[in-house]
Amino acid sequence: MPVSKSRIIDYYDSCEIDYHWLWDLKNSRAMHYGFWDAEVSSLGQALLRQNDFMAERAAIDSEDRVLDAGCGVGGSALHLARRVGCHVTGISISARQIARATEFAREEELTDKTEFLERDFTDTGFPDEHFSVVWAVESVCHARDKMDFLREAFRVLRPGGRLIVCDGFASRRNYSEPEERLMRRWVNGWAVESLESDEAFCDGARDIGFQNIHYEDITTNIMPSARRLYRLAMPTLFFGRLAQLLRIRSSVQTQNIVAARDQYRALRRKLWHYGIFYGEKPRATRPA
């Protein structure tokens, strides 16, 4: 089913309350799975650890100028500014998210290191070669054509710039009819039209011009969060549907709970996996 920009905005604006109460949004400002390793013993730690893990992989330092493409309410951008000291520009198509991220930046006294703008990551409006890093955590999945995101990331990166992406990827191109129904209930419930395979994503990035491409399946590191979502969804789905009938909650919020259940079911069946992608823009322009 096609997923419009307005539907993506409605999903995040409507479901922010669920992230707030069930996913540590009030502390970490994070809306991603998190990264569980030996250094982590709680969800809050896992959410912050994912930021550090990505920053390490992209070798981000205080001199970098980072574009957080699909910044949510600013969690990763604020963490990078606070922890690394780099300047981060966060963009989202949700005006509410930009307002919230800007508010959080003021609260944490990080307005000198961050800015948040209402823009589309497939058509940002920034000048060519404006950033040294493009960062995207669980946002590229929302692009109808993932190549549009890759082309724009390549354009705004400086020569030698780095692209770092953490997201879900389809495990194969074709599914059986029951598998397709399960995948659609999940991804559409989270306002995602479809997932790209990691092979197609890497091939597309290579065709666009990225080099030193590396992809790693890190599903094991998000599995505790996937299970947690499933366990939260199972007892709350009945009450969510009842609240929708009583017009206390919306259908979008109910679908969010269904998706939280089905993402784990699909993951257990190996219909998708979670990975980290890294690529670099060449330092020298290719000869014509």
Q: What is the pLDDT of residues 35-94, one digit of tens each?
A: 999 999 999 999 999 999 999 999 999 999 999 999 999 999 999 999 999 999 999 999
Summarize pLDDT for 221-265 with one digit per residue, the tens.
999 999 999 999 999 988 889 888 999 999 999 999 999 999 999
Query: pTM here?
Result: 0.94
Residue 286 pLDDT: 53
Where does 5-172+193-219+272-280 sit in CATH, by number? 3.40.50.150
- For the chain, give every domain's residue range: 5-172+193-219+272-280
Q: What percent of the chain has pLDDT over 90?
A: 89
Going by pLDDT thresholds of 50, 70 and 90, the confidence category of residue 168 is very high
Which DSSP string corresponds to 22-81? HS-HHHH---S----STT--SHHHHHHHHHHHHHHHTT--TT-EEEEES-TTSHHHHHHH
Please, is 100 exposed, middle or buried when counting C-beta atoms within 10 Å of its C-beta (0-12, 13-18, 19+)?
Answer: buried
pLDDT grade for 22, boundaries at 50, 70 and 90? confident
Res. 101: pLDDT tops 60: yes
Mean pLDDT of all residues in 98-112: 97
Mean pLDDT, range 211-230, rounded to an integer:
98
